[in-house]
Amino acid sequence: MLGNRMKIAPNKVVVLHYAVSDSEGTLIDSSYDHSPLSIIHGSGYLIPGLESALVDHEVGDKFEVAVAADNAYGERHDGFVQTVPKAMFESIEDLDVGTQLRATTDEGEQTVIVIDVTDDEITVDGNHPLAGIDLQFDVEILEIRDATEEELAHGHVHSEGGCGHQH
Ligand code: ZN
């Protein structure tokens, strides 16, 4: 309705398409390759720089958002790279570069990626794969609606069939 268009704000369900590239224009991920993303605005699902850039946009808006690394997945921390004895992981088969492991650290459970393997040591990197990377988003807003009470209680969007999650 003219003059009464819904704008994106906290607790609105937003359905959007996005394509994200690094600062050199290399495509990292695109929802156009699969299905649009449905999020509850303000739930913290999106990186902070993107979430704040959505505010006040309307259905049909297409726009670009540049998000610096510290407002995306954070800066890289050299301290998150550790070399440890391979024996610590002897129960894991197929340990190779690129293998993802769950590790218990001072920060709690964390996903780390194996970046080097030698005869008796492995090196793992606990940085997010996109840490330290400035991101460029192309965003298209497809739908905006109020979140239901149930969606707000669960913290995620329900499709027409209701909640597909276990609670
Ligand atoms: Zn649910």
Compute the distance from residue 157 Cα to the ligand 1 centre, in Å. 7
What span, in angstroms and rounded, lies between the C-alpha atoms of 112 and 85?
15
DSSP assignment letter at 148:
P
pLDDT higher than threshold 80 for residue 90: no
Predicted local distance difference test score (pLDDT) of residue 101: 86
Residues in the chain: 167
Q: Please give the average per-residue pLDDT across 83-94, as a whole number.
A: 82
What is the pLDDT at residue 165?
A: 67
Contact predicate 101/124, CB 8 Å: yes
- Cα 164 to ligand 1 centroid, rounded to whole Å: 6
Model confidence pLDDT, tens digit, residues 92-126: 777 899 998 887 767 678 888 999 999 899 999 99
| Distance of CA 149 from the midpoint of ligand 1 (Å) | 10
Distance 119 CA to ligand 1 centre (A): 46
pLDDT digits (tens, 9 = 90+) for 20-77: 999 899 999 999 999 999 999 999 899 999 999 999 999 999 999 999 999 999 999 9
Alpha carbons 58 and 62: distance in angstroms, whole number? 9
Residue with tokens 């190779």, as numbered in its chain = 96
Rounded to an integer, the average pLDDT of 134-148 is 97
142: which DSSP letter? E
Find the 43 Cα to ligand 1 centroid distance in Å. Answer: 13
pLDDT at residue 140 is higher than 60: yes
Q: What separation in Å is there between the alpha carbon of 110 and the centre of ligand 1?
A: 25
Predicted local confidence at residue 88, as pLDDT: 82
- Is 80 exceeded by the pLDDT of residue 7? yes
Contact residues for 6 (Cβ-Cβ < 8 A; gap 6+): 12, 58, 59, 144, 145
